[in-house]
Amino acid sequence: MSLTLYGYWRATAPYRVRIGLALKGLAYDYRAVNLAGGDQHAEDYRAVNAQALTPALGIGAGVFLNQSLAILEWLDETHPEPPLLPGDALGRARVRAIAGMIACDMHPLNNLRVLQELARRGQDEDARNAWARRWIEDGFKALEPMVAAEGRGWAYGDTPTLADCCLIPQVFSAGRFGVDMSAFPAIAAIAARAEGHPAFQAAHPSRQPDAV
Amino acid sequence: MSLTLYGYWRATAPYRVRIGLALKGLAYDYRAVNLAGGDQHAEDYRAVNAQALTPALGIGAGVFLNQSLAILEWLDETHPEPPLLPGDALGRARVRAIAGMIACDMHPLNNLRVLQELARRGQDEDARNAWARRWIEDGFKALEPMVAAEGRGWAYGDTPTLADCCLIPQVFSAGRFGVDMSAFPAIAAIAARAEGHPAFQAAHPSRQPDAV
């Protein structure tokens, strides 16, 4: 199976999928979609992802998957080793909850199209950055005790999971918006560990072909 | 196993879980969390859901699950019949993608805490409703051809799935914000079908004990 990832170096949702692909040791072609330049609105990209968002994953025969969490679940089902989810239902619920806290309640409030809409509504850059920090800090406040209680080196347990695929890109995004991570030591410790892990290193925005 | 759902009649995320519980035929205790009155910020509720959001699902022995999609996946794993996900990996990816398009990219932009933040930033009610409509309409535009192509009575295939658990509450929310559903006939047809389905009827906001 030939995989093609459509992403943008700095966007956090494709970054999640890159981590999953790297953890699984899967090779893929990379197609940069320049979100800052508006490439996502091109008609040929709409045929790949009707939402005009990244990521999309081509899996061959003209079939494209969208939505980062759905893609990661598909990767885990079709390439089970190493697993991105724990072996028990409660553990899977915990990991998926962490993923949801980030992918539903933090990141979508701060992505490009939302910040552009806020700008159209007269919110200047300082106001937009404060907006982004509010949702990230609210989310990290709830996440910090969860990962402190249930993580043993990673967000849940002692191996990287779907939760870490979401958490590490969210920490990267937090840095862009000036969130003070000293308030979240358990999360910061996971991020520090990821800096030394080859899969997380390979997936980092700075290592992508379209990084500027 | 004794289940306790913490929700609010009008909120769309607990509405999703009510549909899942009803489709599975599971009995549960219902605890109303009055979001309009700020009950979600009470310290005893923070112990149930650290995000101060709904839903949460108590599963006994002081264990609470959060995040609606994680809860629905847990319900499907622990009570497999009838299934909320298709039997093949590509089908599951499609259903989870629809769920993500709603639960990540539509609903979180329009929930109470976000509308309150917009009000604090000087956006009046008309401006807030236009904000909500924009994200719902963007999402429905991408969803409409997907469900038209792959739904056969429901959002994906011919039985209700996780995708319908998310779609029907989002249509309810669209009504509150004044979205014109005539632009989305395939979605509207699914919503009409749900109106006649007992599980969707039982889960409807108007049927909850705290409805006003």
Do A44 and A123 sit in the same domain of this protein? no
CA angle B154–A70–A87, rounded 5-degree value: 110
Query: Nearest CA of chain A to the CA of B96: how many Å?
Result: 5
Query: Does this complex have an ipTM over 0.90?
Result: yes
Q: Are B188 and B181 in contact (CB under 8 A)?
A: yes
Mean of all residue pLDDT scores within chain B = 96
| Residue among A142, A22, A150, A148 nearest A86 (CA) | A150
Cross-chain Cβ contact B134/A121 below 8 Å: no
Which token pair is A39? 């490439």
Do A69 and A136 sit in the same domain of this protein? no
Distance in angstroms (rounded) separating the CA atoms of residues A128 and A134: 10
Q: Which helix (H) or strand (E) covers residue A70, if one does?
A: helix A68-78
**Is some CB atom of chain A closer than 8 A to the CB atom of B78?**
yes
Give the bridge partners for B30, in sequence order: B5
CA angle A143–B39–A155, rounded 5-degree value: 10
Which token pair is B101? 């398009």
Helix (H, G, I), strand (E, B) or coil at A128: helix
The pLDDT value recorded for residue B118 is 96
Do B65 and B100 sit in the same domain of this protein? no
Per residue in B36-68, pLDDT (tens digit) is: 899 999 999 999 999 999 999 999 999 999 999
**Is some CB atom of chain A closer than 8 A to the CB atom of B112?**
no
The pLDDT value recorded for residue B181 is 97
Do B70 and B112 sit in the same domain of this protein? no
Contacting residues for B176 by C-beta, under 8 A, at least 6 apart:
none
Q: Tokens 């209680």 sit at which residue?
A: A149
Q: Are A15 and A40 in contact (CB under 8 A)?
A: no
Task: Provide mean pLDDT across the span A10-33.
Answer: 97
The predicted model scores a pTM of 0.97
Give the bridge partners for A57, in sequence order: A5, A65
Max distance between CA atoms of chain A, in angstroms, equals: 48
Confidence bin at A1 (pLDDT 50/70/90): confident
Query: Nearest CA of chain B to the CA of A193: how many Å?
Result: 25
- Report how many domains make up chain B: 2
| Phi, psi (degrees; rounded to nearest 5) at A66 | -125, 170
DSSP of chain B, one letter per residue? ---EEEE-TT-HHHHHHHHHHHHHT---EEEE--TTTTGGGSHHHHTT-TTS-S-EEE-STT-EEESHHHHHHHHHHHS-SS-SS-SSHHHHHHHHHHHHHHHTTTGGGGSHHHHHHHHHTT--HHHHHHHHHHHHHHHHHHHHHHHHHHBSSSSSBTS--HHHHHHHHHHHHHHHTT--GGG-HHHHHHHHHHHT-HHHHHHSGGGSTT--
**Res. B104: pLDDT tops 80:** yes
Q: Tokens 């398009």 sit at which residue?
A: B101
Give A-chain residues touching B127 at CB under 8 angstroms.
Answer: 121
What is the domain-level CATH number for residue A72?
A: 3.40.30.10
The pLDDT value recorded for residue B154 is 98
**Res. B1: pLDDT tops 90:** no
| Residue among B10, B16, B14 nearest B37 (CA) | B10
Confidence bin at A58 (pLDDT 50/70/90): very high
The pLDDT value recorded for residue A118 is 96
Mean of all residue pLDDT scores within chain A = 96
Distance in angstroms (rounded) separating the CA atoms of residues B10 and B204: 9
Task: Provide mean pLDDT across the span B116-138.
Answer: 96
**Res. B195: pLDDT tops 80:** yes
Cross-chain Cβ contact B53/A92 below 8 Å: no
Do B13 and B48 sit in the same domain of this protein? yes
**Is some CB atom of chain B closer than 8 A to the CB atom of A78?**
yes
Task: Provide mean pLDDT across the span A63-87.
Answer: 98
| Residue among B212, B210, B208 nearest B18 (CA) | B208
Cross-chain Cβ contact B97/A67 below 8 Å: yes
Do A109 and A74 sit in the same domain of this protein? no
Do A21 and A104 sit in the same domain of this protein? no
What is the domain-level CATH number for residue A99?
A: 1.20.1050.10
Do B10 and B97 sit in the same domain of this protein? no
Cross-chain Cβ contact A89/B78 below 8 Å: yes
| Domain span holding position B54 | 4-82
Out of A78, A123, A141, name the one closest to residue B89 (CB). A78
Cross-chain Cβ contact A93/B68 below 8 Å: no
Q: Tokens 């759905």 sit at which residue?
A: A70
Which among B38, B67, B82 is the end of a domain?
Answer: B82
**Res. B100: pLDDT tops 90:** yes
Per residue in A153-170, pLDDT (tens digit) is: 999 999 999 999 999 999
CA angle B140–A35–B121, rounded 5-degree value: 65
Helix (H, G, I), strand (E, B) or coil at A65: strand
Task: Provide mean pLDDT across the span B177-182.
Answer: 96
**Per-residue three-class SS string for B105-119:** CCHHHHCHHHHHHHH
